[in-house]
Structure formats: C-alpha cells, structure tokens
Amino acid sequence: MDNVGIIGMASIITAGITIAIGSIGPALGEGRAVAQALSAIAQQPDEANRITRTLFVGLAMIESTAIYCFVVSMILLFANPVWDYISPALGG
C-alpha cells in the first residue's frame, strides 16, 4: 500500500476511534450530573433556577471534552495537515 492509502486509512480509523472513545467519558459524566440535578430539584423545587443554571454551566464544561475529540476527528477527516505534506495537489 502506498503512503496516501496508509495515511487515509490511519486518519479515518483514528477519527472514528477518537470520537467513539472520547464520547464515553462525557456521556457517563453528563448522565450522572443530570441524575443528581434532577434528584436535587425533586428535593428542593424552590432552588430549581439556581440548580438548572449551575447544571447547564457544568454540562457545557463536561461536554467540552467531547467537543475537543470531535474537533480533532474533524481535523483528521477534513483538514488533515499530512495531506499537504504528501501531495499539495491532494490538499483540502
């Protein structure tokens, strides 16, 4: 297999593995956070506003790890810098 094929295969497989493994942790974390927030709201409905606001900020911070993985896999798929190195004609 030539260089282009190897790089393409490695990029695609790595992009898939990146987003697959990288979304496991945030998914578990967000599930736990939402479950805790729901039980907290059930116990103290008066504090629902504050809990919801904190929950959203926390969810966004948890989710950013998954977003990093997504950005890396998008770069691997659509803006892979190695393509330019191998062949400027292929670059995209």
Partner 1 sequence: MSIKDLSPDDAVLWQWEFASLNYTILYTWIVMALMVLVSWLATRRLTSRPQMSRWQNFLEIVIGTINNQIRDVSQQKPERYLPFIGTLFLFIVTSNLLAVVPGFHAPTASLSTTAALAILVLVAVPVYGIAHQGFIGYLRLYVHPTPLMLPFNVIGELSRTLALAVRLFGNMMSGAKIGAILLAIAPLFFPIVMHALGLLTGLIQAYIFAILALVYIGSATQAHDTRSRLRAEHNTARAEAD
- At a CB cut-off of 8 Å and minimum separation 6, what does 36 contact? none
Residue 88 contacts partner 1 per CB under 8 A = no
d(CA 35, CA 59): 12
Residue 81 contacts partner 1 per CB under 8 A = no
Residue 57 contacts partner 1 per CB under 8 A = yes
Q: Which residues 23-52 are close enough to bind partner 1 by CB under 8 A?
A: 50
Determine the number of helices (DSSP H) and then strands (DSSP E) in the chain. Answer: 4, 0
Cβ proximity to partner 1, 17 vs 79, nearer residue: 79
Q: How far is the CB of 77 from partner 1 (least distance, A)?
A: 9
